[in-house]
Chain A
Amino acid sequence: MVIKINNRSGEPIYQQLYNAIRDAVISGEIKENEPLPSIRAIAKDLRISVITSKRAYDDLERDGYIYTIAGKGSFAAVRDAGLIREENLKKIEAHIKEAIRLADETGIEYFVLHEIMRILEEN
């Protein structure tokens, strides 16, 4: 698994770590039930604070990408197709919202958006 941390991007470090591990779990790079590095090991390796990595792990657990067994550490969760679908739907919605915003900005009518969608589908 590759985890790139960029100090200068505006994105908080815990979010960058969250995204990297989430992507690795979704893509199957980390297999189901495979152990993840410990919070302290990953903090040391990436030279970030323990709270930062703990926050990323807490969020990953909350969102169902990993699970934690007390005293044993964290593991990649069983990949749930529904969960990934849900995640992608959220992303698609965000992109469409952005498309609508751009359309509104210059007065492009919505039927043009539908038209674009239809043409892209045909391709």
Chain B
Amino acid sequence: MYAVKTDKLCKRRGEFLLDGISLELPKGYILGLVGENGAGKSTFISLLLGMLRPDAGSISILGSSDNSVALKNDIGVVLSEPFMPQCMNASMIDKMYTGIYKNWQSDTFFRYIKQFNVPDNKVFSALSRGNKMKLAIASALSHDAKLLILDEATSGLDPIVRDDILDVLYDFTSDDEHSILISSHITGDLERLCDYIAFIHKGRIILSGEKDEICESYVKLSCSNAELKSLDKDALIGVRRGEYSDEVIAKRNALCGLTGAPVSLEELFLYMVKYGEEEK
């Protein structure tokens, strides 16, 4: 069963076109959506949540495609700009959600608030960005959700808070009924956590699959012009040309005797997007 499955999802918003997104997140796993600002990550997530209607294509979440209230009870959402009434403090937010979510658990909520050290007497607008995010994550985790959707939830946060959040995400997926879809332009956070990765660029998926397989399939190497010419053009992902040597990311199985170093998601994404297109 899939926690999230989309098929050829399309949406036009002015100049921008989200073009045929087909993605699958099997239940119990974590999918990281990587893309630069404006690549279409948030549009995609808005479509998943029913905040936008697709022009074409289909969406299935937790095996259902009816976009119902019952389904929303099973989804925990954290958006990059957490939306909460500005004048409410933690206990007022708790009361509010008691009336919204069928399975709201106040004790879980306050346990997270305490664990995250979020001041519970301050109103939402007076909290720091980190604390706003933590409060939003605490809310998303306190109504027995089976799917967590996080849009840029760790961007703009300091490394210590990001690390706290990663811990909580690992806790969440210790239950194999739980799945996470997380979008970010900071790939470092996703590097270890995610089971699946999808790169999104200009509204299209340019690469997706199991993270381990992806990382193993490519290598980075520094080579001379002659060596670069000896490589199969189709095996090149991106080339950063330099005066003295060229930095190349290529498919591992097409190296013709050259050796390369393991590649990080960030490098792979950068080379695909920035140094890939000018070659072709």
Contact = CB atoms under 8 A, between A and B. Distances in A.
Contacts of B170: 43-44, 47
13 contacts: A10-B261, A12-B212, A13-B212, A44-B174, A47-B166, A47-B193, A48-B192, A49-B194, A50-B195, A51-B196, A51-B211, A51-B212, A52-B212
Nearest to B216: A12
Interface in B99-124: none
Interface in B233-280: 261-262
Contacts of B212: 12-14, 49, 51-52, 55
Given A10-B261, A10-B262, A50 B216 contact: no
B40 interface: no
Interface in A9-28: 10, 12-14
A55 B211 CA distance: 12
A80 to B, nearest CB: 29
Interface of B: 28-30, 166, 170-171, 173-174, 176, 192-196, 210-212, 215-216, 261-262
A41 interface: yes
Given A47-B166, A49-B211, A50-B195, A40 B173 contact: yes
B28 A50 contact: yes
Using C-beta atoms within 8 Å of the partner chain, give the interface range for chain A: 10 to 19
Contacts of B28: 50
B210 A51 contact: yes
A40 B29 CA distance: 10
- CB-based closest 9 A-B pairs: A51-B195, A44-B170, A49-B195, A40-B174, A47-B192, A10-B262, A50-B195, A52-B212, A48-B192
Contacts of B261: 10
A50 B192 contact: no
Given A10-B261, A13-B212, A51-B211, A41 B174 contact: yes
B233 to A, nearest CB: 25
B110 to A, nearest CB: 23
A52 B196 CA distance: 11
B62 to A, nearest CB: 18
A47 B194 CA distance: 10
Nearest to A14: B212
A56 to B, nearest CB: 10
Interface centre among A7, A40, A50 (most CB of B within 10 A): A50
A14 B215 CA distance: 12
Interface in A41-66: 41, 43-44, 47-52, 55
A8 B220 CA distance: 13
Contact of A44 (B171, B195, B196, B262): B171
Nearest to A45: B170
A50 B159 CA distance: 23
Contacts of A48: 192
Contacts of B210: 51
Contacts of B174: 40-41, 44
A36 to B, nearest CB: 16
